[in-house]
Amino acid sequence: MLAALDRLRPVRRTRTTSARRRESLTAFGMATPAVALLLVFLVVPVALAFALAFTDARLISPTPARFVGLRNFTRLFDDPVFYKSLRNTVYFAAVVVPLQAGLALVLALLVNAKVRGVNFFRTVYFLPVVTSMVVVSLLWTFLYRQDGLVNRVISTLTFGHFDGPDWLGDPATAMPAVILMSVWQGVGFHMVIWLAGLQTIPAELYEAADLDGATRWDRFRHVTWPCLRETRTFVLVTITIAAFSLFTQIRVMTQGGPLDSTTTVVHQAVHTGYDQQQTAYAAAISLIFFVLVLAVSLIQRFLTRERD
């Protein structure tokens, strides 16, 4: 087809249109692979999930899927586990977003200092990020056991006066334990993002602040913080979305238990859709999840918009 277009090209043209044409052709060519992949692996599956949510599709079934209207949604809103999943997901996000973003910023400020050996600390803080979440989850499952390392340390530090709980086996401590581990694993990534932001701040600003006799806090409050505006938005949005899609840790460590204290929306979707073969029901959960994340992202976008 392109060859045909070439033949049809007018013999005489101005230089500018031909250059622009070439440019747009290049752009088209470069965008195509990404667009095609996005279409095949994102747009089509999402559209399918939306459609499936209104059918009775099952993973294993001799009969084709039928349209059943809102049945999956009425069942979902009648499902006590779904509300627990929602509650746990919001709980996780509400704690992890400020905790992880704040801790990452503190670490970034620390490793931004110009002292010897700072690269060592940068590497150490970043190490968990490049480790697979499945491996990390497995290791922490051992650490959290009743007779695991965490409880040994607690026992030693308190001279045997205090025995830690069975962290993942107790509904009261399971989610906090997962949160702690997740923050530990993810904090390095956002530290690097903050660090990148910190290094874009011109040194003149700090010099000027010094000349004005600003304290360390003043410098942070009036130079660093305002200059990190873009970075802040990025960190906030990425942590929020990652927190909402909490799944791997749960799947490996608790499978949603004990007593549904760690089940999340995504975990429930995978469990019902795959383990329990209820494809359409899982699609309905995914649809609700999509709406939830979209709503939160829009609110964040609104709150962090550029004010003219």
Partner 1 sequence: MVFRIRRLAMASVAVASATTLVAGCASGSGGSTSGADGNTLTLWTHNAGNSAELDVVKKIIKDFNGSQDKYEVKLQAFPQTDYNSSVVAAASARKLPCLLDVDGPNVANWAWGGYLDPIDVSGSEVPLTDQLESTVGRYKDKLYAFGFYDVSLAFFSRKSVLNAYDIRIPTMDKPWTKAEFDAALAKLKKSGKFDYPLEMGTGGTGEWWSYGYSPQLQSFGGDLIDRGDHKSASGTLDGKNSVEWGKWFSSLAAKGYIAKKSAADPNPDFLAGKSAIHWDGSWNAAKNADKFGDDLAILPPVDFGDGPKIGGASWQWAMSSSCSNKEGAQAWLKFSRQNKYFVDYAKATGTLPATEAASQQVEGYEPGGKFNVLVRFAREYAQVRPVTPAYPYISTEFEKAAKDLLAGADPEEALGQAAKNIDNNLKTNDYYSG
Using CA atoms of 186, 187, 192, 197 in order, give the dihedral in degrees to the nearest 10: 120
Residue closer to partner 1, measured from CB, 40 or 294: 40
Nearer to partner 1, 231 or 278 (CB): 278
Q: Which of 100, 224, 278, 286 binds partner 1 (CB under 8 A)?
A: 278
Minimum CB distance to partner 1 smaller for 63 or for 119? 63
Please report whether residue 258 would count as binding partner 1 according to CB under 8 A. Answer: yes
260 φψ region: left (φ > 0), alpha (ψ -120 to 50), beta (else):
left
Q: Which stretch binds partner 1 (CB under 8 A): 30-38, 109-117, 156-164, 229-237?
A: 30-38
Nearer to partner 1 (CB atom), residue 58 or residue 222: 58
**Residue 157 binding partner 1, by CB under 8 A:** no
Count of residues binding partner 1 (CB under 8 A)? Answer: 40
DSSP the chain: -HHHHHHHS-S---HHHHHHHHHHHHHHHHHHHHHHHHIIIIIHHHHHHHHHTTB---SS-SS---B-TTHHHHHHTT-HHHHHHHHHHHHHHHHHHHHHHHHHHHHHHHHTS--TTHHHHHHHHHHHHHS-HHHHHHHHHHHTSTTSHHHHHHHHHTTTS-PPP-GGGSHHHHHHHHHHHHHHHHHHHHHHHHHHHHHTS-HHHHHHHHHTT--HHHHIIIIIHHHTHHHHHHHHHHHHHHHHT--HHHHHHTTT-STTTT--HHHHHHIIIIIS--HHHHHHHHHHHHHHHHHHHHHHHHHTPPP-
The single residue among 4, 11, 16, 63 that binds partner 1, judged by CB under 8 A, is: 63
- 4 is an interface residue for partner 1 by CB under 8 A: no
Q: Which member of 50, 58, 103, 128 binds partner 1 (CB under 8 A)?
A: 58
Residue 34 C-beta-side C-alpha neighbours within 13 Å = 5
* 45 counts as binding partner 1 under rule CB under 8 A: no
Q: Is 28 in the site for partner 1 (CB under 8 A)?
A: yes
118 near partner 1 (CB under 8 A):
no
Please tell me whether residue 277 binds partner 1 under the rule CB under 8 A.
Answer: yes
Query: Taking the mean position of all CA atoms in its chain, how far away is CA 183?
Result: 12
* Of 71, 87, 219, 222, the one binding partner 1 by CB under 8 A: 71
Task: Answer yes or no whether residue 13 interacts with partner 1 by CB under 8 A.
Answer: no
Binding residues for partner 1 restricted to 164-183, rule: CB under 8 A: 166, 168-169, 171
What is the contact mask toward partner 1 in residues 201 to 220, using x (rule: CB under 8 A)?
--------------------
Q: Is 36 in the site for partner 1 (CB under 8 A)?
A: yes
CB of 52 to partner 1, least distance (A): 13
Residues that bind partner 1 in the complex, under the rule CB under 8 A: 2, 6, 22, 25-26, 28-30, 32-33, 35-37, 39-40, 56, 58-63, 71, 75, 80, 166, 168-169, 171, 255, 257-260, 271, 274-278
